[in-house]
Amino acid sequence: MSAQTRKPAILALEDGRVFRGWSFGAEGETFGEVIFNTSMTGYQEIFTDPSYRGQLVALTYPHIGNVGVNDLDFESIKPFLAGVIVREYSRIHSSWRAQKDLSAFLQEYGIPAIEGIDTRALTRHIRDRGAMTGVISTEELDPEKAVEKARQAPKLEGRDLVREVTREKAMVWHQGIHPKWLPLGLGPQVERRDPLHIIVYDFGVKYNILRSLAHRGCRLTIVPARTPAAEVLAQNPDGIFLSNGPGDPFAVKYAIETTKELLGKVPMFGICLGHQIMALALGAKTFKMKFGHHGANHPVKNLKTGYVEITAQNHGFAVDIDSLVKHDVEVTHLNLNDQTLEGFRHKTLPVFAVQYHPEASPGPHDSQYLFDEFVVMVETHRRATEQTGARA
């Protein structure tokens, strides 16, 4: 597409800041919370992560689109984000894995995108002022009118976004590590004669979380977010996983109540939104962060080992660490950038959670041990339950 045929687009923020650029996705208008992601690779995984539901994602890496898009790097069934903001879109992609270009991909799913933006200025603005609502438009190019549209758009805080991304029916996950994938450094795939049955609550689960569990010999049943605790316990699972997902955890009250009912019954592991839901179920509080954590370069300290993990993160809310430690919980991980809570473990129940994404592997394998720890916890609990049953 030549410069003469590019369609103008505008990014307007609710505080009055306006950026002009060019459209390279679907035409039209979209609203959302403007956030920035500092990852240097993995734009397709970012765009297909359901946790970005309702957000306009600005990528700080300046050159996006150079490896195209392929069918194997989806993290969910489709992209859920509201819009894309980049400095420069690469109209030529070069990768043996590519099956289409990024522009065609975004147009196929109706996702507006804008390029030519000074993403460094935008990122500094968000860091100073905080995440805010914005609009990307190819229809309304008048700055004042576009800003007013951003101000009138609905806010994400307090809105249940999980119901917009969760699956409608339960399903069994059969996919392990795809044979065409490059080696992930996970070690040999575990084959179990009697696989561990893990029920996954789908709040917007990423495929690589499922692959990581399946790789370790787990049989996965994925259930909708509103599935009652009694229905889950009736399946006699060996463990329960609370997935990542979008938005304000306090808005997902049904998940918090369900988790309260499940605590202590079966071993549980939570990631990201699952971490926050578990903390709320234990009596803690959460708060909205100024601009959140979005990227693949966040240092997290494991307080047990002293090691620092390079982690991938995507969340705009966090657990109040002072509100959590009162509830028989020990802090296991801390963010070294701002000292926010990144992980906890219950002192007596088989329950633990982390705020970051161990399956995303930016380290690249710093945090994969968490899946191993969950499997060991589940195995230990199952053996103890079997022995108790045998004695009875």
> In the chain, what are the domain boundaries?
8-152, 162-391
At residue 183, the pLDDT reads 40
Neighbours of 200 (CB within 10 A): 25
**In residues, how long is the chain?**
392
At residue 2, the pLDDT reads 45
Mean pLDDT of the chain: 93
Give me the phi and psi of 152, to 5 degrees please: -85, -10
At residue 188, the pLDDT reads 64
Q: Which of 215, 272, 275, 298 is catalytic?
A: 272
**Residue 362: pLDDT band by 50, 70, 90 thresholds?**
confident
Instruction: Indicate if the pLDDT at residue 346 is higher than 70.
Output: yes
At residue 390, the pLDDT reads 54
At residue 288, the pLDDT reads 96
Instruction: Indicate if the pLDDT at residue 4 is higher than 60.
Output: no
**Residue 176: pLDDT band by 50, 70, 90 thresholds?**
low
Instruction: Indicate if the pLDDT at residue 6 is higher than 70.
Output: yes
Least confident of 61-65, 93-97, 107-111, 322-326: 322-326
- Relative to beta strand 8-13, strand 132-137 is antiparallel
- Report DSSP state, residue 363: S
Instruction: Indicate if the pLDDT at residue 204 is higher than 70.
Output: yes
Spell out the CATH class of 162-391. alpha beta
Q: Which of 215, 275, 293, 357 is catalytic?
A: 357
Contacts of 154-160 spanning 24+ positions with Cβ under 8 A: 154/31, 155/33, 156/32, 156/33, 156/54, 156/55, 156/247, 156/248, 156/316, 157/248, 157/288, 158/248, 158/250, 158/251, 159/54, 159/247, 159/248, 159/251, 160/247, 160/248, 160/251, 160/252
Asked if the domains at 8-152 and 162-391 fall in one CATH topology, the answer is no
Angle at 53 between CA 294 and CA 320, to 5 degrees: 50
Instruction: Indicate if the pLDDT at residue 184 is higher than 50.
Output: no
Instruction: Indicate if the pLDDT at residue 84 is higher than 70.
Output: yes
At residue 193, the pLDDT reads 74
How far apart are the C-alpha atoms of 156 and 27, rounded to whole Å? 23
Mean pLDDT of 183-187: 51
**Residue 361: pLDDT band by 50, 70, 90 thresholds?**
confident
Mean pLDDT of 258-267: 97
| Percent over 90 (pLDDT), the chain | 86
The answer to whether 357 is a known catalytic residue is yes
Topology of the domain covering 8-152: Glucose Oxidase; domain 1 (3.50.30)
